[in-house]
Amino acid sequence: MKKLKIDPVTRIEGHLQIELSIEDGIIKEARAGGPMFRGIEIILKGRHPLDATRITQRICGVCPTSHSMASARCLDDALGMTGKIPPNGELIRNLLLGCNFIQSHVLHFYHLAAMDYVRLHNGVEAGLLKEGWGPFFPQHEADYKPGKEETLRLLHDYIKALDIRRQAHEMQAIFGGKMPHQVGIIAGGVTMKPTADKIADFRFRLLRIKDFIENSYIPDVLTVAGCYPEYWKTGASAGHFLAYGALDGLFAGGAVKEGKLEKLNTGEITESVKHSRFKDGETLHPSQGKTEPQPEKDGAYSWVKAPRYGGYSCEVGPLARLMVNYLSRNPAVIDDIEKFLKVSGAPPENLNSVLGRHAARALEALLVAKKMEEWILKLEPGGEAAAHFEIPAEGEGAGLTEAPRGALGHWIKIRNGVIGNYQCVVPTTWNASPRDDKEQPGPIETALEGCPVKDTDNPVEPLRVVRSFDPCLACAVHVLNRKGNGKDFSVL
């Protein structure tokens, strides 16, 4: 049995370590560890409840808008505001979250994942690139398959994607003041009323971005899929999926256990800490969740907790949303899903795979952009965008939404007018979870087990599997330790 540790996994968000046991070129056991501690829940205690929407965004610079949405919904719930947000407020919240989805998905495919599939130092880019230049080098030796023309097109789109992401950020600044960490989304709605100017500014960027998704992003994903068809059959998770749903029904919520769709019941969410660096205790629902670090705990190998749904280790993210919406025949998206599956040649039975995740992500970028075109034209210039609220001395709330990487939940308890307890269960906590109290592996661990590794000096296959999940360890865990060993830490 050969042991291989990849630490850190590069070209992801945050810091992830992967430990593999390999026999006869196949991964027998995989462990995914988050070596840093996230103290945001501790930082929030005792603060003004509205601070949650500003502070939780600092969990991550890639998906901050999702955290502001989850915390605003959480506060809406605790403040009795659910259902009272003016239509402009709901629409602008969804437009801001939509921009965040698109920029995050484009970022993932081009700037994080593409270099797993495209070799740029074989001379075809003569004059453009020099051996040793970042961000393209160094690169593992591997079976890079795209030919010269495909490589040049992917490289061209890699550069163009930087500009597309800039424009998606500008769109968030139009209604959210700035990006990252926009200040638009608040409890009760958003901070800014729409104007005709802002609508026009937003819309022309949106049309350009939609054009890029249709004519570059989706074709580029299909090019990669065409070059590497074996990845339709590599990297399956256990087949359990969870989505909370978001964006005004564009994505429906639901759970898939052993291939069967179920209605979402958030009471089934628990978190186990047996192999996580937290004090042992019962598995708890997040509304009762605790953040009690124990860095030196025996048997613990991650700062990520192990959330489970009805005891199942569920994958979340674009593939989970695709599965839930496909199986529930969500009328908002089912025609587009069917059409995409046909055009892409994506075999439905092989969607639970590396390529299935990339395809699902590209498809939903298009679904979101198309929906945003409708929403932007529904805004009423000058109309109210927020409702008045009072902060109660005592209250409780839950805020569930979807982040680019999957189901995101925040839970608050207000005590004496301040935050008494706050818990976040983020997408990568699900996907990168360690084993739980029943020793069930997390989705990334399962997807790695059974994956081939041809050359342990160039472990591209497991890296392709891990990156297909678009993990964000900054979201899952946070705050630096002093020695980088995952044990010796202090709450900063």
Q: How many residues bind ligand NFE (CB under 6 A)?
A: 17
- Using the minimum distance from each CB to ligand NFE, give the nearer residue, 101 or 389: 101
Reading phi first (left if > 0) and then psi (alpha if -120 to 50, else beta), residue 329 is in left
Ramachandran angles phi, psi of 30, nearest 5°: -130, 140
Q: How far is the CB of 374 from ligand NFE (least distance, A)?
A: 23
- Using the minimum distance from each CB to Mg ion, give the nearer residue, 322 or 424: 424
Q: How far is the CB of 13 from ligand NFE (least distance, A)?
A: 5
Quick one: 167 exposed, middle or buried, by C-beta within 10 A (0-12, 13-18, 19+)? Answer: middle
Rounded to whole angstroms, the Cα distance separating 29 from 231 reads: 20
Rounded to whole angstroms, the Cα distance separating 327 from 229 reads: 24
Rounded to whole angstroms, the Cα distance separating 342 from 159 reads: 29
- Using the minimum distance from each CB to ligand NFE, give the nearer residue, 88 or 182: 182
Please check whether residue 28 is in contact with residue 1, taking contact to mean a CB–CB distance below 8 angstroms. Answer: yes
Cα atoms in the 13 Å half-sphere on the side-chain side of 456 = 14
Binding mask 424-463 for Mg ion (x = CB under 5 A): x---------------------------------------
- Using the minimum distance from each CB to Mg ion, give the nearer residue, 292 or 373: 292
Question: Which residue among 17, 53, 56, 66 contacts ligand NFE (CB under 6 A)?
Answer: 66
Task: Decide which of Mg ion, ligand NFE, none touches 403; Cβ closer than 5 to 8 Å per partner kind.
Answer: ligand NFE
Partnered with residue 32 across adjacent β-strands are: 18
Q: How far is the CB of 38 from Mg ion (least distance, A)?
A: 7
Q: Output the six-digit token pair for 100.
A: 């965040």
Q: How far is the CB of 152 from ligand NFE (least distance, A)?
A: 30
- Contact partners, residue 475, CB within 8 Å, separation at least 6: 13, 14, 59, 60, 62, 63, 403, 405, 426, 427, 428, 429
- Contact partners, residue 63, CB within 8 Å, separation at least 6: 100, 104, 403, 404, 405, 472, 475
Identify which range of 8-16, 246-254, 351-359, 416-424 contacts Mg ion by CB under 5 A.
Answer: 416-424
Report if residue 97 touches ligand NFE, rule: CB under 6 A. no
Report if residue 60 touches ligand NFE, rule: CB under 6 A. yes
Q: How far is the CB of 8 from ligand NFE (least distance, A)?
A: 15
Question: Which residue among 22, 187, 408, 419 contacts ligand NFE (CB under 6 A)?
Answer: 408
Task: Decide which of Mg ion, ligand NFE, none touches 405; Cβ closer than 5 to 8 Å per partner kind.
Answer: ligand NFE
Partnered with residue 284 across adjacent β-strands are: 271
Q: How far is the CB of 305 from Mg ion (least distance, A)?
A: 6
Question: Which residue among 89, 404, 459, 486 contacts ligand NFE (CB under 6 A)?
Answer: 404
Q: How far is the CB of 60 from ligand NFE (least distance, A)?
A: 3
- Nearest to residue 67, comparing CAs of 457, 474, 483? 474
Identify which range of 200-208, 379-387, 420-428, 434-442 contacts ligand NFE by CB under 6 A.
Answer: 420-428
Q: How far is the CB of 311 from ligand NFE (least distance, A)?
A: 21
Task: Decide which of Mg ion, ligand NFE, none touches 306; Cβ closer than 5 to 8 Å per partner kind.
Answer: none
Report the first-to-last Cα separation within the chain, whole angstroms.
40
- Nearest to residue 261, comparing CAs of 246, 240, 247, 244? 240
Strand boundaries in 201-316, DSSP class E: 241-243, 254-257, 260-262, 269-272, 306-309
Q: How far is the CB of 277 from ligand NFE (least distance, A)?
A: 18
Q: Output the six-digit token pair for 68.
A: 């502001």
Q: Output the six-digit token pair for 457.
A: 């000096």
Task: Decide which of ligand NFE, Mg ion, none touches 118; Cβ closer than 5 to 8 Å per partner kind.
Answer: none
Please check whether residue 225 is in contact with residue 358, taking contact to mean a CB–CB distance below 8 angstroms. Answer: yes
Question: Which residue among 22, 40, 52, 63 contacts ligand NFE (CB under 6 A)?
Answer: 63
Task: Decide which of ligand NFE, Mg ion, none touches 428; Cβ closer than 5 to 8 Å per partner kind.
Answer: ligand NFE
Q: How many residues bind Mg ion (CB under 5 A)?
A: 1
Question: Which residue among 72, 369, 474, 477 contacts ligand NFE (CB under 6 A)?
Answer: 474
Cα–Cα separations (whole angstroms), residue 172 to 52, 102, 176, 305, 307 = 20, 11, 5, 31, 31
- Using the minimum distance from each CB to ligand NFE, give the nearer residue, 198 or 321: 321
Contact positions vs ligand NFE (CB under 6 A): 13, 60, 62-63, 66-67, 403-405, 408, 426-428, 472, 474-476
Contact positions vs Mg ion (CB under 5 A): 424
